[in-house]
Chain A
Amino acid sequence: MITIFIPTPLRRFAAEQTQVRLNARTVSEAVQSLTSIHPSLKPYLFDESEVIRKHVRLYLGDEDVREKQGIHTSLKEGDELSIIPAIAGGKY
């Protein structure tokens, strides 16, 4: 099993859970499985083309999966995948 960390702003769409444990062989499987358990999360994670939203980061441990094999990154027993909202802005 792997653990997915749910960030504070999305917990209300995941039954207020901080983390969800599930079986998955890849990042893609993990996120698909998560949204099948908690469908309300889907619009916050995927865009209309079913692609991970550009302002959502997925980290495996302390590494951005975009620097690995993206959503095709393999997972192993005990891995921790974190969903992280991009935090940014500015005056104009």
Chain B
Amino acid sequence: MSTILDKSVLKEIQLHLESEYPNEGCGFLLGTDSHRSRHITMMLRSPNQSTENQRKRFVIDPLEYLKAERLAQQLKLKLVVIYHSHPDHPAIPSDNDLEFAQPFFSYFIHAIQKGKMAGTRSYRLVNGQLLEEKFSIHQTIKTT
């Protein structure tokens, strides 16, 4: 399984998560999915609804989730990634991340150090563990 992320989408994620610093930011990524590969083409930011400390927790409203699913259906895409930031913390899943992990989804964790994106890692739930998976960044070249 290989995951390809458009560079423009990564830039949008970066802008979003840096703007949320020092809080955690979160959202969804949509794209195409086959058994062999995923191609991420669109991001949807979601408000962090955590009523705990948003510097170390994120929660997405269930209705935001439904909106993302419906949009993906309309666009004939799939909801394939949940992304969130770890402000001033490595891009390594916590016990809290693992507790909420679902099968199928990729989980992108973005380290934000002093307000700037410092790294991105992707994980998937395999046999009860979040294991790191590879992804590549793709530059979409627009022709006129």
Q: Which residues of A contact B (CB under 8 A)?
A: 5, 7-12, 18, 44, 55, 57, 59, 62, 64, 82, 84-92
Contact = CB atoms under 8 A, between A and B. Distances in A.
Contact of A8 (B62, B63, B69, B107): B69
A88 to B, nearest CB: 4
A27 B56 CA distance: 34
Contact of B57 (A9, A10, A44, A88): A88
Given A91-B94, A92-B56, A85 B66 contact: no
Interface in B84-112: 84, 86-87, 89, 93-97, 99-105, 107
A88 B60 contact: yes
Contacts of B37: none
B28 to A, nearest CB: 8
Q: Interface extent on B, as a size class?
A: 35 or more
Given A88-B57, A91-B87, A9 B94 contact: no
Given A9-B104, A87-B82, A92 B65 contact: no
B38 interface: no
Contact of A87 (B57, B59, B86): B59
Contacts of B105: 8-9
Given A8-B104, A89-B100, A90-B50, A84 B62 contact: yes
Contact of A91 (B63, B65, B79, B89): B89
| Interface pairs A-B: 7 shortest CB-CB | A90-B57, A89-B97, A9-B104, A87-B60, A9-B102, A91-B86, A91-B89
Contacts of A82: 66
A85 B102 contact: yes
Nearest to B24: A90
B79 A90 contact: no
B39 interface: no
7 contacts: A55-B99, A88-B100, A89-B101, A90-B84, A91-B24, A92-B94, A92-B95
Nearest to A55: B100
Nearest to B101: A89
A90 B102 contact: no
A55 B104 CA distance: 16
A23 B62 CA distance: 25
